[in-house]
């Protein structure tokens, strides 16, 4: 199993680091363009949530991102140092009363772009799985 890891302070400017990290993984692991797009959106949404909602943009708190690839499967893990969240009771962003709300679509996108999503440690850890075939 091959892995790549990065950690960084919780500032929104560090999304650029994440995008570069994902591009590096695409090259290293020979990820297709289609899967690269799904991984880019899902992982950056997860990191964005970690920075804003998990760590409340506290520069003293870090976000940890890792990729592990085994055969034709990629696991992306995002960890924040926040208090977690209730991932089982999120409002449905496609419900009529939520359509015009700003925000609330991140976890929805993550779940729809990943093959499998697991939440651990009260929501502080998001593990996304992608089939690379």
State pTM to two decimals: 0.94
Alpha helices in 30-105 (DSSP H): 33-49
* Topology of the domain covering 2-131: Heat Shock Protein 90 (3.30.565)
pLDDT digits (tens, 9 = 90+) for 11-58: 999 999 999 999 999 999 999 999 999 999 999 999 999 999 999 999
Helix or strand (DSSP H, E) at 26: helix 15-29
Predicted confidence (pLDDT) per residue in 61-96, tens digit: 999 999 999 989 999 999 999 999 988 888 887 888
Residue 94, classed as helix, strand or coil, is coil
> In the chain, what are the domain boundaries?
2-131
- As a whole number of angstroms, the distance between CA 79 and CA 57 comes to 14
């Amino acid at each position: 199993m091959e892995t790549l890891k990065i950690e960084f302070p919780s500032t929104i400017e560090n999304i650029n680091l994440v995008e570069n990290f994902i591009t590096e993984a695409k090259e290293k692991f020979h990820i297709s363009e289609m899967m690269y797009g799904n991984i880019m959106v899902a992982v950056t949404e997860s990191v964005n949530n970690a920075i804003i909602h998990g760590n409340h943009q506290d520069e003293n708190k870090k976000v940890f991102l890792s990729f592990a690839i085994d055969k034709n499967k990629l696991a992306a893990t995002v960890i924040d140092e926040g208090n977690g969240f209730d991932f089982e009771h999120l409002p449905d962003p496609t419900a009529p009363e939520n359509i015009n709300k700003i925000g609330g679509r991140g976890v929805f996108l993550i779940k729809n772009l990943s093959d499998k999503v697991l939440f651990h440690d009260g929501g502080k850890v998001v593990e996304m799985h992608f089939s690379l075939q």
